[in-house]
Amino acid sequence: MNWEYESPRKAYGETLVELGKEREDIVVLDADLSTSTKTAMFGKEFPHRFFNVGLQEQNMMGIAAGLARCGKTVFASSFAVFATGRAYDQVRQSIAYPNLNVKIVATHGGVTVGEDGASHQMIEDIGLMCGLPNMRVIVPVDSHEVRRVIRFVASQDGPFYVRLTRTALPNLTSKDDEFVFSRGTLMRDGSDATIIATGIEVSYALLATEILKKEGYDIRVVNMSTIKPIDKGIIIKAAKETGAIMTVEDHNIYNGLGSRVAEVLVENYPVPMRRHGMRDVFGKSGRWDALLEHYGMDEKGIAREMREFLKEVKK
């Protein structure tokens, strides 16, 4: 595939600067990781509206809540493991429960954090955030979508969780595409089965379908950027038209995309299903691409998993 690769973190930082120029109510907080999360771009342009609170993620969420109470639109950023794990109580009690206008944009989500190892590879964050009433959860598929998503969440009242990766992503969408909240996107049509993927795994799912195509399989691919509220319609349609669904995510298979899709299917249109991702294990330290290969989450691993799944379906 001849894809252009771009950093979603950089797209986030650039979009914050654009919003800062357009709106005086935009305020940004970070917890001593602004160079990595790219919120430093906003801090350089608008130092009076940028607050680096240091290694105090819990306090950052409390401050974000207070600023939102004062009428500000607040973006609070850190690595996913800190933004959702270390600060979970504050996110729950101070942001989600009072339904405040705070946008938690976490970078370095999933096992693709790489060399930082299991302690920093947050594979539970989607589950944690989806379980919170009032919280909406988005995992953009590429940098173009990051820009659209950040603008969208800034235009909406209430809390959002946006998960970004450390590594660059291929741009699978165009700059002119529209982001429609709570809507999945058909990336490739097919009739034998459907892969529903999110984030970095969408590109690997598309590559996997090329491998499977040579073997005679026709696989549909859906990008599910909005995890909560999830697009029930596109899931049920895929179930009816292809008869089998496999989810793929850089996250624990428990309480992530797979669980959300399974809930829709079991309540509306049960079909054979398989969840693929981190199989309830912590990650290891290593290059991010080597880790995806190790856990079977690259194109070869996804193709292998789908091949085995379809054999079981046809028994």
Q: Are strands 73-79 and 26-30 parallel, antiparallel or unpaired?
A: parallel
**Tens digit of pLDDT for each residue in 160-208?**
999 999 999 999 999 999 999 999 999 999 999 999 999 999 999 999 9
**Tens digit of pLDDT for each residue in 76-91?**
999 999 999 999 999 9
Q: What average pLDDT score do residues 265-279 get?
A: 98
Residue 131, number of CB atoms within 10 A of its CB: 14
Q: If pLDDT is split at 50, 70 and 90, which confidence band does 273 have?
A: very high
**pLDDT (0 to 100) of residue 315:** 67
Separation CA 84–CA 58 (nearest Å) = 10
Q: For helices 8-22 and 143-155, give the axis angle rounded to 10 degrees.
A: 40
**Under 8 Å between Cβ of 222 and 197:** yes
Separation CA 50–CA 43 (nearest Å) = 5
**Under 8 Å between Cβ of 144 and 10:** no
**pLDDT (0 to 100) of residue 2:** 83
Separation CA 315–CA 311 (nearest Å) = 7
Q: Which domains does the chain have, with CATH numbers?
A: 5-170 (3.40.50.970), 185-313 (3.40.50.920)
Strand partners, 185: 223
Q: If pLDDT is split at 50, 70 and 90, which confidence band does 124 have?
A: very high
Residue 280, number of CB atoms within 10 A of its CB: 9
Q: Which residues are catalytic?
A: 57
Q: What average pLDDT score do residues 28-57 get?
A: 96
Q: What average pLDDT score do residues 297-315 get?
A: 93
Among candidate residues 78, 74, 72, 23, the one with its CA nearest the CA of residue 55: 78
Burial of 254 (0-12, 13-18, 19+ CB in 10 A): middle
